[in-house]
Structure 1
């Protein structure tokens, strides 16, 4: 590889590297004085022509990394894919999981209805004075849900408020009672409500009970 060849490569518009023509001349001298094995190694180092290392497979004979692909033994290739659509795997059967989830949901709904019935019985009459209501943890949870919704809808210390649950068919009413101190107790702890009265009615009872007429049930539609 003489100077004329290097000049032709440099003038053809191809990239000549960071050092330009001087680097090509030096590389050409190295190639000119190298034997075949050294020339192969020099070519691989200069142009990053390393053998592919991401290929794999099993062969009967091992081939050297510097060997030509033309002279190397053939490797076993993967069998051709069958023509036509591939067979589909049967869909997984999740009926057992669905049944378990359904049973769990029905069990939860049953216990919530039982807890709501206990809340309804315990607070069927309007509280007042120093009352104490003992509830199971599940019933306390249902009552706390209704109480949180009722207290968030207004100011029960000023005017009666309420919140209901259509699925459980109950409604909680709360209103001002300056001298009242209601204790809600369960095995998990106690909650003291001062200055409020509570009463639980059917869900259809939308009017808050008063001192005069008590709860009034709206006629069904």
Structure 2
């Protein structure tokens, strides 16, 4: 490659690199004094004309940078994609998980209904005096839910309050009983309620009679007790 070729490349308007014509002249001299193998390496280094080593995949052999494609090891290319639409994966089957969740929900609802029935039986009558009610943990939990809702709706020491659960079909009533001390006991501990009475009814009963004091003694009315015959 002589000066005329370099002059032609420099005068063609193409980019000549950072150093311009001087760099092309130096490169031309290197090409002129190089043998075939060195010229190939020089060309690859100067113009980044490295041959492709692999089309895809991984191989044990490494093709030399100066090697021709004709003599380089065969590349292990990935197989071509099939023509036509690619089949989609079948949707995951979550029926077993749904069945397990449904069974767990049904079991929890069953135990809550059983706990609500226990609360209903234990508090079917209004508590009096120093009553003590023993409940298992599940029933105590249901009662605490109802009691929290009832106490949040008003002040039971002033007037009766109520809270119900339509799903469990129970309703808790609480009202003032100044001399009462109620103990709710469960394996998790005890809760003492002073000055209150409790009663649990079905959900539809929104009010229970509250005109009779909770601690009134039995047989206090005029019609109580067996009828006696008048003296002769």
TM-score, scaled to structure 1:
0.69
Determine whether 1:168 maps to 2:168: yes
Q: CA deviation at 1:57?
A: 0.7
Give yes or no for contact 1:63–1:73 (8 Å, CA) kept in 2: yes
Aligned residue for 1:112? Answer: 112
**What does the per-residue CA deviation read over 1:137-156, in whole Å, with 9 as the maximum and x for residues that have no partner?**
01001111111111222222
Q: Per the alignment, in what secondary structure is the counterpart of residue 192 of structure 2? A: strand
The structural deviation recorded for 1:102 is 2.5
Distance 1:30 1:184, change over 3 A: farther
Residue in 1 that maps onto 2:154: 154
Identify if the C-alpha distance between structure 1 residues 125 and 58 changes in structure 2 by more than 3 Å, giving closer, same or farther. same
Q: How does 1:122-137 map to 2 (within 5 A)?
A: 122-137=122-137
Query: Aligned-pair distance for 1:181?
Result: 1.8
Cα contact 1:173–1:209 (8 A) shared by 2: no
1:180 matched residue in structure 2:
180
Q: Is contact 2:53-2:63 (8 Å) kept?
A: no
CA distance in 1, matches of 2:138, 2:159: 29
Tell me the number of residue pairs that the alignment of Structure 1 and Structure 2 aligns.
Answer: 201
State how far apart, in whole Å, the 2-side matches of 1:118 and 1:162 are. 18
Kept in 2, the 8 Å contact 1:162–1:208? The answer is no
1: CA distance, partners of 2:76 / 2:207: 84
* Aligned equivalent of 1:206: 206
Unpaired stretches in structure 1, ≥5 consecutive residues? 215-221
The residue matched to 1:62 in structure 2 has which SS?
Answer: coil
Query: What's the offset of the Cα at 1:131?
Result: 1.5
Q: Distance in 2 between matches of 1:95 and 1:66?
A: 61
Give the superposition deviation at 1:95: 3.5
Matched with 1:81 is 81
C-alpha separation in 2, matches of 1:135 and 1:112: 13
1:92-107 to 2 correspondences below 5 Å: 92-107=92-107
- Give the number of the structure whose alpha-carbon radius of gyration is greater: 2
Q: Which runs of 5+ in 2 are unaligned?
A: 1-5, 31-37, 215-232
DSSP-derived class of the 1:192 partner: strand
Distance 1:52 1:173 in 2: 86
Instruction: List aligned pairs for 1:3-22, cutoff 5 A.
Output: 5=10
CA offset digits 1:124-144 (Å, max 9, x no partner): 111232211100001001111
Matches within 5 A, 1:36-75: 36=39, 37=41, 40-41=44-45, 56-58=56-58, 62-65=62-65, 67=67, 72-75=72-75
